[in-house]
Structure 1
Amino acid sequence: MRETGRPNILFFMPDQLRADFLGCYGARFARTPNIDALAARGMLFDRCLSPNPICVPARASLLTGTTSLENGVLVNGAWLRPDRRECGLDSWPELLSQGGYDTCSIGKMHFYPWDASEGFHERVVAEDKRQIGIRDDYADFLESRGKCKRHGREFEGYRENAGACYSPLAKEEQVDLWCADQAVSFLERRDGTRPFALMVGFPSPHCPYDPPPEIAALFDPEEMPPPLAETAESEALRPWLISNMKNPWADLDYSVFTNEQKAKVRAHYSALIHIVDLAVGRVLTALDRLGLSDDTIIVFASDHGDFVGDYSLVCKNFFMDPSIRVPMIVAGPGVSRQIRADTVTLSDLYPTFLQLAGLEARKDLGFASLFQDAPDEPRVICGATHRGFMIEKDRKKLARYVGGTITLHDMEADPGEQVNLADDPKWQQVRQDLDRALTDWQVAETIKGHREKTIVYAAETKPQPGSDPGILGRNWQRPYPWSAETARR
């Protein structure tokens, strides 16, 4: 008989899924009935922000409950230090594993090395669609069918449609449905004596935008919502993105990005989201069939969004809403049906998972459980990547970018971020207040990020006779690293 009192956890995390392309977030063109039904019976957070709108930084922050300034991961080419545990950075799967949960991750995690456990008992891996050289479990599956991972440039339509192409794989060979099948397999063969925590990382709708033709046909480019217009600020940021997308991982030139291409990209992106919805439905059906629904908390979120043509941009990296506003849905036993208007972050899932498991998080983390009541005062949300910094409070968002671009937007009056208020005389007090709070956060988190270098001085000005002089004596050896136990107090 299974231990009672603690729920199972089922965490769906598609890659690069913005909130407003789901039906439950207002997208009339979407085909997401399974996700919408999940939202209808649970808590939907209207404004969830990814503080680190890049794949690896977002995942490192979610995994450890720390900011990118503390954990040091601000770019995709970095990962957590190997001795992170000694430095006070525990991952939520390892804490749940130690706490008696059967933990498993399926699909894309974006760990380095790609097959690292990071605390999961079991991993079934289907990494980033762009990382075609990784021989993961999905690659083995394709090989068993005489196929292999291929770069998007080999697919029909890739260049002429600015990345919106057609997968040559059959529907049941699509990576997201394969991930769903692996999740069902885990649910069927798991150890029923312990609660489980299962994370399913769908590689879609991350580019390349490559649905099979029969799924793409469900979405008419002419019915897609028009993209947001370029601004002076987005045009200042765009050259870096154009240069980045020319690298071999994408091998696309967005110097010219036509309205027809944008519409095609948005339609194919929606088609990939539809596949994710089918995959979610497949797992939830198995959950019901196995009698697990009444004991399982289900979470649906994403690491960041995608511009898909807004401001003539694609992918993410910058702090406009298409890049940072992600879905956050929580459903299951004891979860009330409601739409929450308060702002939360993706990394709030770290203390949420620990709370569900009956475990305590570090006292100095800057994130809060999603099961806490909405705060009386507007919450301050800060973020950082290798492209800049962001702060939002009370729907007022300030961003500072590498190269000097500064933006300030009133997200209630101007949700499309078309009017930059950074130099508006009437908004200087708001700008100063946000800038001061952002600087305070940057300093505090940077200090936390270097605590393993901390030297603790003795209280006395000189050692007492017969006592260990410690740092005041000759040949003192500094302990390293900084005590993880100190971090947890």
Structure 2
Amino acid sequence: MGSDSRPNILFIMSDDHAAHAMSCYGSRINETPNLDRIAEEGMRFDNCFCTNSICAPSRATILTGLYNHLNGVKTLGDGLDGRQQTVPKILQKNGYQTGLIGKWHLGHGGVYDPTGFDYWNILPDQGEYHNPSMYEMGELKPYTGYVTDIITDLSLEWLENRDQDKPFFLMCHHKAPHRHWEPDDKHAHMYEDIDIPEPETFYDDYSNRAAAAAAATMRIDRDLNALDTKGEPPEGLTPLEVKKWKYQRYIKDYLRCIASVDDNVGRLLDYLDEKGLADNTIVIYTSDQGFFLGDHGWYDKRFMYEESLRMPFIVRYPKEIRPGSVQKAMALNVDFAPTFLDYAGIDIPDHMQGSSLRPLMKGEVPEGWQTSMYYRYWMHLSHHGVYAHYGIRTERYKLIYYYAEALGTTHSIDDPKEPEWELFDLQKDPYELNSVYHDPEYADTVRSLKEQLYRLKEKVKDYE
């Protein structure tokens, strides 16, 4: 134990891990005993949301405490300019030893390499599941084994060799369970003898909504390819049977990848216990965004719909967080950076747009805490044909505006579509199957939500 008694921060983030594939969130399809330990010994956030449900932009928001129009990472085509202020830079300057191991996905070389980290070892772009190469402090090195194990091995090695007189901030970023969902040998035969239940909205026909839902190219039956399903469907199946077969192939590999993440989180938790570090270490597990697990007949993310918008967020800090507690107040990925700084005893810079979650972790909800959030997906039509949109989610309603234009953003497709609105009453329609935007009974609600939306848009300084 060093002379600096400030808490260590272990931030574990996976890629595309939906909250509804964690047993502590009530999963119907898998068990995550080690992740559940964090929730049981700490707090589960039930309403944590991302401000742009796609990889690089969410990561940039977590590092900067800024929305994407201000941190410069609106789409997957944008890198994070490391000359700007980030939370690791601030922690490093204030006496923390900082490390980043695993997925980066924010550019390489020049101003795009990680900054603010005493040590970094990252996958190139998405990286490989098996025998990956990684950039260790800029030098490409090959590794043998499975990526989730390797990232954990490297994290444990860094923890073991760190300067014990300083508190640490370690970002352990897993590639899994990102597409194409390649499990390791240990978990390759899990779920072999069972069928995974299909979600409630698996047979969604995309009626009663804007055109965007039907236009998206991320359907289980039509858009999953042989690389995703590890082969072609058997001959002679009906279209319905093909859809069911593809879902089972997809979801089982996805869950097998998560089982490895869960095992490896357990290794990190055990290490903290063995070294007597658990009491003074804030452990956070999250994902960069949610994911469709057959919900609406889809895989992938991007939409402002619940399964994509919602992030898992569980946190343990024995000194301050009551075991087994649940927080239903709204938290956003833009709040993570201020939270780290608050716990480190560092003033939160005025330019950061989020708020510290520390009061919420203590079980308190400050007066005037956010009850609505602003979302914007910029990457028009790329990869999965999702229309660019922005919107507001309150505790009861969700209003989405598909402005459906590229607006010159990187890697967006310049093919404007007809703008449309959607409104969902989440109390009456939790699965978001029926937009009530044109229902006269909701006219006042629409008017009020539009006012709130444009107030929020201005508040976060999104003027486009």
TM-score range, shorter chain: 0.7 to 0.9
Deviation at 1:391, TM superposition (A): 0.9
Counterpart CA distance in 1 for 2:349 and 2:439 is 41
Which of 169, 174, 177 is 1:205 aligned to? Answer: 177
1:99 matches 2:94: yes
Helix, strand or coil for the counterpart of 2:101?
strand
Q: Counterparts of 2:279 and 2:310 in 1: how far apart (Å)?
A: 30
Q: Does 1:223 align with 2:183?
A: no
Aligned mates of 1:92, 1:247 — CA distance in 2 = 37
Q: Which amino acid aligns with 2:146?
A: Q
Is 1:374 the counterpart of 2:365? The answer is yes
In the other structure, the counterpart of 2:411 is none
Q: What is the rounded CA distance, in whole Å, between the counterparts of 1:144 and 1:21 in structure 2?
A: 29
Q: Which residue of 2 aligns with 1:318?
A: 303
1:296 maps to 281
TM (normalized to structure 1)? 0.77
Tell me the TM-score normalised to structure 2 length: 0.81
Query: Structure 2: which amino acid aligns with 1:104?
Result: G
Supply the AA of the counterpart residue of 1:268. D
Q: Distance in 1 between matches of 2:198 and 2:174?
A: 24
Report the more deviating stretch, 277-286 or 375-384.
Answer: 375-384
AA aligned to 2:451 is R
SS in 1 for 2:47: strand
**Corresponding residue to 1:432 among 425, 447, 458:** 447
- Give the Å deviation of 1:264: 2.4
Q: Deviations over 1:66-93 (max 9, x none)?
A: 1112223221101234543xxxxx2000
Kept after mapping to 1: 8 A contact 2:19/2:312: yes
CA distance in 1, matches of 2:5, 2:128: 41
Query: Does residue 97 of structure 2 align to residue 111 of structure 1?
Result: no
Q: Determine if contact 1:51/1:346 at 8 Å carries over to the other structure.
A: yes
The 8 Å contact of residues 14 and 286 in structure 2, kept in 1 or not, is answered as: yes
CA 1:124/1:418 → structure 2, altered by over 3 Å: closer, same or farther?
same
Contact 2:218-2:299 within 8 A present in 1 as well: no
8 A contact 1:227–1:262 mirrored in 2: no
Change (3 A) 1:35 1:203: same
Q: Do the aligned residues in 1 keep the contact of 2:99 with 2:117 (CA within 8 Å)?
A: yes
Cα shift at 1:203: 0.4
Report SS of the residue matched to 1:199: strand
Aligned to 2:43: 43
Structure 2 counterpart of 1:271, which letter?
Answer: R
**Which stretch shifts more, 270-279 or 304-313?**
304-313
> Residue 67 of structure 1 aligns with which residue?
67
The reply to whether residue 56 of structure 1 matches residue 32 of structure 2 is no
* Aligned counterpart for 1:421 among listed residues 417, 436, 440: 436
**Structure 1 equivalent of residue 217 of structure 2:** 241
Cα-to-partner distance string for 1:246-284 (whole Å, 9 max, x where unaligned): 899x8999x997122123212221111111101100111
Distance 2:141 2:293 in 1: 28
Q: Does 1:22 align with 2:22?
A: yes
Percent of aligned positions with the same letter in both sequences? Answer: 29
Kindly tell me the number of residue pairs found equivalent between the two proteins.
Answer: 415
Matches within 5 A, 1:302-451: 302-332=287-317, 333-337=319-323, 338-363=325-350, 365-372=352-359, 373-376=364-367, 379-386=371-378, 387-401=388-402, 402=404, 403=417, 404-446=419-461
**Which one-letter code corresponds to 1:345 in the other structure?**
L
> Aligned pair in 2 of structure 1 residues 389, 144: CA closer, same or farther (>3 Å)?
closer
1:174–1:36 distance in 2 versus 1, CA, 3 Å = same
What SS does structure 2 have at the residue aligned with 1:433? Answer: helix
1:107-166 Cα shifts (integer Å, max 9, x gaps): 002121267122111101134546799952499998465xxxxxxxxxxxxxxxxxxxxx
Rate the CA distance shift 1:347–1:143 in 2: closer, same or farther, 3 A.
same
Instruction: For residue 303 of structure 1, report the CA deviation from its aligned partner.
Output: 0.7
Secondary structure, counterpart of 1:30 in structure 2: coil
Cα displacement (A) at 1:184: 0.7
Bigger-Rg structure (1/2)? 1
Q: CA deviation at 1:418?
A: 1.3
The 1:438/1:180 distance shift into structure 2, 3 A limit, reads same
**1:419: how far off?**
1.7
Match of 1:148 in 2: none
Deviation, structure 1 residue 195: 0.3
Partner of 2:10: 10
Distance 1:213 1:187, change over 3 A: closer
In 2, the alpha carbon distance for the partners of 1:127 and 1:23 equals 31
Counterpart selection for 1:177 from 143, 149, 154: 149
Are the structure 2 counterparts of residues 135 and 141 from structure 1 closer, same or farther at C-alpha, using a change threshold of 3 Å?
closer
CA distance in 1 between partners of 2:223 and 2:141 (Å) = 28
